[in-house]
Amino acid sequence: MAVDNSADNSAGNSAANSVESAVRGTARQSVSVIGLGDMGTALATALLAAGHQVTVWNRTARKADGLVEKGARRAESPAAAIAASEVVLVCILDYADVAPLLAADGAGAALKGRVVVNVTNGSPAEARALADRVSDLGAEYLDGGIMAVPDLIGKPSAFVLYSGAKDAFERSRGVLDSFARSVYLGTDPGLAPLNDLALLSGMYGMFGGFLHAAALMRSADRNVTAFTREVLMPWLRAMAENQLPAMAAQVDSGDYGVTGSNLAMQVSHDAIGDASRAQGVSTELFDPLWELMKRRVADGHGQESIGGVLELLHPRERRA
């Protein structure tokens, strides 16, 4: 599916909160997978299962053995892997190592006419720079952000964000849809990493909240598994569904008018900090948000919602 989460998407109806593309019936294509760590191996396994002609290369060659037993062809170099297939999927640890790999020992010449799909995690600026280099070598470039762990590849909850060459995305759907739902964000190659990193930021915020909550429960000798399943998850789901869309609309409009819980009420006293300290729980995770909430109230925004804290992270005037 295509997603428009540009700032002027006023309807807000197709943003990344409505990810919905289906794994399609896939046409058989040739695809090379460069990088066979946990994720690259999962991708190659799913591609083989979908019936594609899969060529693999990994710096440590023995990691390809299991895939070769399942029917993959082994390439002896990155250049050979690139030469073997229409679509070249790159999944290695560091973005900085991708460009040298694609330029080494004849690989650059082999790139002409290929579609490079790089799902190595990086930044928007890195994606734009690599897209320029790849297109200078006569290939088309797609950047991908995998929103799944290896075990979820090929399962319904897995999706991958893509940005870059639109025609190449459409032509490669047979391959891409074999391992996850494909979400196309736009021609700017930086969009996939931007959205990927924003989603990971949301995830780490949730993990941070979980860790503090779990520490509080354990400090009172409570069972964290039962707490998480029975009350924390329902609570977080309800908060996500009820609060996040409204806060997002406030951020987009700049109107932080409160809809129930004003910020001054929330910082009126430090109940979480006091209880945590009394139970021997560090407040290191909670403190940064707490300080920002207090600062926002001190700046005169106590009657607004917590969404206004965003103005302390990135003032509206700084928008691109």
Residue number, 47 or 293, with CB nearest to ligand NDP: 47
Q: Binding to ligand NDP by residue 193, rule CB under 6 A?
A: no
User: Which region, judged by CB under 6 A, interacts with ligand NDP, from 143-151, 162-170, 221-229, 237-245?
Assistant: 143-151
Residue number, 91 or 168, with CB nearest to ligand NDP: 91
Cβ 14 to ligand NDP shortest distance, Å: 23
CB 188, CB 128: distance < 8 Å = yes
User: Which region, judged by CB under 6 A, interacts with ligand NDP, from 92-100, 108-116, 184-192, 265-273?
Assistant: 92-100
Tell me the CA distances in angstroms from 311 to 184, 255, 294, one per residue in order.
29, 11, 13
CA gap 259, 234 in Å, rounded? 21
Residue number, 40 or 190, with CB nearest to ligand NDP: 40
CB 116, CB 102: distance < 8 Å = yes
Q: Binding to ligand NDP by residue 91, rule CB under 6 A?
A: yes
Which one of residues 30, 51, 63, 66 is an interface residue with ligand NDP (CB under 6 A)? 63
CA gap 135, 282 in Å, rounded? 50
Tokens (6 digits) for 175: 């391959």
CA gap 301, 264 in Å, rounded? 8
Radius of gyration of the chain (CA): 23
Which one of residues 92, 107, 306, 309 is an interface residue with ligand NDP (CB under 6 A)? 92
User: Applying CB under 6 A, which residues contact ligand NDP?
Assistant: 35-40, 58-60, 63, 91-94, 97, 101, 120-121, 146, 149-150
